[in-house]
Amino acid sequence: MKVWDMYKIAVIPGDGIGKEVMEATLHVLESSNVDFEYSFADAGDEYAEKTGIPLSEETVNLVKQSQACLFGAAGETAADVIVKLRKELDLYVNLRPVKSYPGTKYLFEGLDFVIVRENTEGLYSGLEEYTQDGATATRVITKAASERICKFAFEYAEKTARSKVTAVHKANVLKKTDGVFKDSFYKVAENFSHIETDDRYVDATAMFFITQPQMFDVVVTTNLYGDILSDEGAGLVGGLGLIPSANIGETNGLFEPVHGSAPDIAGKGLANPSAMILSAVLMLEYLDEYDEARRLENALLKVLDEGKVVTKDLGGESSTMEMAEEVRSKLEAL
């Protein structure tokens, strides 16, 4: 069912293979039942070489005025681009699915859980300074940010028919900062008594990801822990080339594959477009276009399952755009 007649989407292809996977994804979306109005902008290394800055205020404003943003990849300036956009738009959620797809190098069949990472504070607050002996970093954990991210995790579990939310922390050692996060989690959980809850230490969680990942459904955690666990999750299901991500705030969302710009293969048509296409799936979910999100995901799933028209990293010989064309064909048939 259509929620809006036309969605205004900011598109930032970025650097390297970002441009290729973006072109492929937009080609697939042309056959969507949802209509988009795209506004294109530049950011990243190549833009910095031309202008001296990796991200302009005009681009930030364009994203603010859009209902969502699709972002391809950035090279060495990735932090200057993505971190600034997260701060400017208060994108306090980083959402990373961990899902096994057919035809990929997953370690466990049937995995399907989601990591919800707080995106604005923790050790990534940028409060570092040199000292006579070396350097120090200040870890900021607030009740407001902790409750906000936990509330999102529970609401996301409700919206996506998931039944369990796990908080990950290290409150046995970091008694004050992680203590605030743990207490905030259980305070929020009181309003979602129909959802199962538990909490685990981050080191134990890292082990369980490898030994018993099926025990997780929605994982909510702080910034640094979420960053590390997300990449471990990617390793469970075939690597970063298959992993999408969402950065979500109260009024906007930015959707990007977690792979980098891969300059070594850029321009060769070798890039796997799956993560960018799956990022578009997350965008459709964010826009409450769930039926269309499932159509797009299922079209990609059929292509992966058949394994005939896929890129080299998936065991095939097809180019980025050839694989995109096959996904589009499957989408049109659904």
Active site annotation includes 231:
yes
Contact by Cβ (8 Å): 263, 16 = yes
Q: Retrieve residue 97's tokens.
A: 């699915």
Query: Considering 15, 42, 199, 227, which one is annotated as catalytic?
Result: 227
Active site annotation includes 203:
yes
CA 289 to mean position of chain CA atoms: 17
Residue 95: closest CA among 73, 70, 114:
114
Query: Considering 19, 99, 151, 170, which one is annotated as catalytic?
Result: 170
Active site annotation includes 170:
yes
Query: Considering 47, 92, 106, 124, which one is annotated as catalytic?
Result: 124
For 205, counting Cβ atoms within 10 Å of its Cβ (0-12 exposed, 13-18 middle, 19+ buried), the class is buried
Give the Cβ contact number of residue 332 at 10 Å.
13
User: Of all residues in the chain, what percent are helix, strand and coil, respectively (each to 5)?
Assistant: 45, 20, 35
Q: Retrieve residue 93's tokens.
A: 């959620």
Query: Considering 35, 143, 198, 203, which one is annotated as catalytic?
Result: 203
Distance CA 301, CA 322 (A): 16
Q: Retrieve residue 8's tokens.
A: 């205004």
Residue type at 272? N
Rg (CA), the chain: 20
Contact by Cβ (8 Å): 14, 261 = yes
Query: Considering 80, 112, 217, 231, which one is annotated as catalytic?
Result: 231
The DSSP H or E segment spanning 60 is helix 57-64
The DSSP annotation for 309-326 comes to S--GGGT----HHHHHHH
Q: Retrieve residue 201's tokens.
A: 């230490």
Contact by Cβ (8 Å): 85, 60 = yes
Q: Which residues are catalytic, by number? A: 124, 170, 203, 227, 231
